Amino acid sequence: MKKLLLALMLVPAFASAIDLDDDGTWKLTGFYNLTGAKVMSGSSQGSSTPWTYQKYNCPCTIQNWEYTGVYEKSKGWEFDQESLVGLQLKKDFTPNFSGTVQVVSRAQNPNQGSKPTVDWAYLTWQPSTDSNWTIQAGRFRIPLYYYSDYLYIGYAYPWVRPAPDVYGWPVYAYNGANVSYRTQIGNSDWATTATVWAGSFSQNTDAYYTNLYNTTPTSDAWKRILGGSVSVNNGIVDVRGMVMHHYETAIINDPVNGPTYEVNNAGTTIMGLSANMDYKSWLIKTEIDHFSQVDPSQGLNNVYKYALVGVGYNYKGFTPMYTYSRYRTVAQPIEGRDTQTFVLRWDVYKNTTLKIQYDVSKDKSTYPFKFFGDSKLLSVALQGVF
């Protein structure tokens, strides 16, 4: 943790991408998030008396599902749940053929105990330098959300982190390939990009299932992933639609009773629609998603609905913003949350931003046990790119 914090303090000294050779074919870029947060108060099932959920001392709140970033009131200010630094190295082999690797070191990374991790590693090819087509193969983030590609590049969006009510599933990457086509629409200002992708991904000990739900090592695999998206934008309005299908197998590896299936080769469909506007000083962010994993033969009726809407205004480098997010399962027992987020972003100087955020989250779950509960969280983050 101390080494990571030192690296984060040194990173802002860089102002732009670094050329690693004389002809500019090797380029190094990076990003960092120094994030601290404190649970101000919390309660569960009508009581603020401290309780324990899994291994967490609550009042508490989860702000990252992929890497189980959980803040606990008893620990005060915590800087080791979401802080990270990432480096991306790109090599241009020819004008239309390149390779990219992105490595991220996180203050906390329970997934497979690997730190740092290779989040991206892929090759990119275009038939020609001016081609509308792009083909890539390797490891990528699954593009389930509008901010999927740069979820951990905090400088790219107004919040300390995108709403956890919407962002976060047990599997977040895929090994495979994608093809995209981008073109202008006639003589208008509008451009459209269509992308299809396919692949798979698995984790032996998945933090999402292991830490947050089962307390027993759980493996998870998404196989036969096939998805597509279409986006249109004109520099002011950006609309994106996405649909993806895969088969999920999650196995609880109980050391005493042996392995049991959480889900077994369950067909799963995820759909999403986002519409964003950046006009003059106004920002509007919206996203709505639907997850369906239904199989009566296995007793599965996993349907999840989640959405966010936010409005902000930029004035001389300051951007205050209000966001409301919501998450619900359909089948009993219901798991649900409603969150109001108030954030102020200050663009301190080029490539660096400081954010202060206050989240008021209400637990709408109907579990017979105490879950994460209600919480009020204060967050502060210094985020940037270089």
- 280-338: pLDDT as tens digits: 999 999 999 999 998 877 788 899 999 999 999 999 999 999 999 999 999 899 999 99
Confidence of residue 16 (pLDDT cuts 50, 70, 90): low
Phi-psi region of 156 (alpha: psi -120 to 50; beta: other; left: phi over 0): alpha
256 and 232 in contact (C-beta within 8 Å)?
no
Confidence of residue 113 (pLDDT cuts 50, 70, 90): low
Handedness of CA 61, 64, 65, 71 (dihedral sign): negative
94 and 125 in contact (C-beta within 8 Å)?
no
pLDDT of residue 295: 81
Helix (H, G, I), strand (E, B) or coil at 333: coil
Res 18 pLDDT > 90: no
Res 6 pLDDT > 50: no
Cα of 12 vs its chain's centroid, Å: 23
Query: Which range, of 192-196, 201-205, 241-245, averages the lowest pLDDT?
Result: 201-205
Neighbour tally for 129: CB within 10 Å: 8
Q: What angle do CA 330, 336, 337 make, to 5 degrees?
A: 150
Q: How many CA atoms lie within 13 A of 29 on its CB side?
A: 14
State which residues form the domain around 174. 2-385
Res 202 pLDDT > 60: yes
177 and 136 in contact (C-beta within 8 Å)?
yes
More confident: 220 or 111: 220
The whole-number average pLDDT for the span 254-272 is 93
Domain count, the chain: 1
More confident: 267 or 111: 267
Confidence of residue 14 (pLDDT cuts 50, 70, 90): very low
In the chain, % of residues over pLDDT 90 = 86
pLDDT of residue 19: 83
- pLDDT tens-digit readout, 43-69: 999 999 999 999 999 999 999 999 999
More confident: 23 or 77: 77
DSSP state of 330: S
C-alpha distances in Å from residue 263, one per residue of 75, 238, 301, 344:
35, 36, 11, 41
Distance CA 117, CA 373 (A): 31
CATH number at residue 301: 2.40.160.10
Res 4 pLDDT > 60: no
Nearest to 198 by CA among 218, 220, 180: 180
Res 164 pLDDT > 50: yes
Confidence of residue 15 (pLDDT cuts 50, 70, 90): very low
The whole-number average pLDDT for the span 259-275 is 95
In the chain, % of residues over pLDDT 70 = 95
C-alpha distances in Å from residue 167, one per residue of 142, 148, 151, 288, 308:
12, 8, 9, 11, 10
Cα of 121 vs its chain's centroid, Å: 18
Distance CA 320, CA 130 (A): 40
373 and 58 in contact (C-beta within 8 Å)?
yes
More confident: 368 or 16: 368
191 and 354 in contact (C-beta within 8 Å)?
no
Nearest to 167 by CA among 323, 284, 281, 277: 323
Distance CA 73, CA 53 (A): 13
pLDDT of residue 386: 92
Which token pair is 298? 């296995």
More confident: 87 or 9: 87
- Strand segments, DSSP code E, in 95-190 are 97-106, 117-125, 133-141, 173-184
Confidence of residue 256 (pLDDT cuts 50, 70, 90): confident
Which token pair is 71? 């803040």
Q: Alpha-carbon dihedral of residues 204, 206, 210, 211, nearest 10 degrees?
A: 140
Res 12 pLDDT > 80: no
Bridge-based pairing of strands 60-64 and 56-58 is unpaired
pLDDT of residue 122: 98
